[in-house]
Structure 1
Amino acid sequence: MTQPFDPTGTPEPTHLVLVNAAGARSLWPVYLPVPAGWATEHGPASHEDCLRAVTPAQSAPPG
């Protein structure tokens, strides 16, 4: 059984990145309404693209 936050494996726009007033981000399926207090920051886009938008970039260790 799949869940609404699972990746779909397709490049189709299936998810959003939401942000609230505190700056918290959330991965959200496009077919669900955006909850009160949240706004769309990115998307609609693929699950993978939205996941990249909410995951902090990895930097190389110094040295």
Structure 2
Amino acid sequence: MSHPFDDKQAQFLVLRNDEGQHSLWPTFIDTPAGWTVVLAASDRESCSAYIEANWTDMRPRSLAATSA
């Protein structure tokens, strides 16, 4: 079995946690606790573009709030 991220035809989700962190996630794996789907099943390129546009501060929200 190959790595799920190597499959060019795979569909992915974009997940976000309470800290505002994003994750590219294969659709066939259950969404883990504490994460919410913010972009429905899409191709890898679309998901990557979404993450690039929406996750501009890599710091967890709690850390970013303390340094503001």
TM category, shorter: 0.7 to 0.9
Give the paired residue count. 54
Partner of 2:66: none
Structure 2 matches for 1:17-28, cutoff 5 A?
17-28=14-25
Provide the aligned C-alpha RMSD in A: 2.0
State TM-score, norm by structure 1: 0.73
Runs of 5+ in structure 1 lacking a partner? 58-63
Runs of 5+ in structure 2 lacking a partner? 55-68
Task: Among all aligned residue pairs of Structure 1 and Structure 2, give the percentage whose two residues are the same amino acid.
Answer: 35
**Which has the larger share of helix?**
2
The whole-number CA distance in structure 2 between the counterparts of 1:47 and 1:7 is: 9
Partner of 2:58: none
Any runs of at least 4 consecutive aligned residues in structure 1 with deviations exceeding 3 A, and if so which? none
CA separation of 1:55 and 1:2: change in aligned 2, threshold 3 A: farther
The whole-number CA distance in structure 2 between the counterparts of 1:27 and 1:7 is: 13
State TM-score, norm by structure 2: 0.68
The whole-number CA distance in structure 1 between the counterparts of 2:34 and 2:51 is: 18
